[in-house]
């Protein structure tokens, strides 16, 4: 978490929701992810990534792996942070029902 470790209790409450209409929304804005909503696109091949496209600038995108690994997690890979903030290489999410 780098410089964000001090606020890790807050960031542990970050939730991303993927809707059936190919949109996503996060429950809060965080400095290490460019935007909290937009569209998602599923990768179709075995080795293809999924992608998030941000509402405020759909030319900026983030790849994420297939949900879910054996421990019900997936991760965002090298997100673009908000301007002036540091990135985090991998951000893990745990599936909840």
Could you give the number of structural domains in the chain?
1
pLDDT tens over the chain, length 97 residues: 778 888 889 999 999 999 999 999 999 999 999 999 999 998 887 778 999 999 999 999 999 987 665 678 888 998 999 999 999 999 989 888 7
Contacts by 57-64 with C-beta closer than 8 Å and gap 24+?
60/34, 60/35, 62/33, 62/34
Q: How much of the chain exceeds pLDDT 70, in percent? A: 95
The domain in which residue 14 lies consists of 2-94
Read off the pTM: 0.87
Other CB atoms within a 10 A radius of the CB of residue 81 amount to 15
């Amino acid at each position: 978490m780098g410089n964000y470790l001090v606020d890790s209790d807050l960031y542990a409450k970050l939730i991303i929701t993927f809707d059936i209409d190919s949109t996503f929304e996060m429950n809060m804005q965080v400095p290490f992810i460019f935007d909290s909503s937009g569209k998602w696109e599923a990768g179709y091949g075995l080795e293809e990534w999924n992608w998030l496209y941000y509402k405020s600038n759909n030319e900026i995108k983030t790849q994420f792996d297939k949900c879910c690994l054996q421990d019900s997690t997936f991760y965002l890979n090298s997100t673009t942070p908000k301007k002036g903030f540091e990135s985090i290489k991998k951000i893990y999410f745990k599936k909840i029902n």
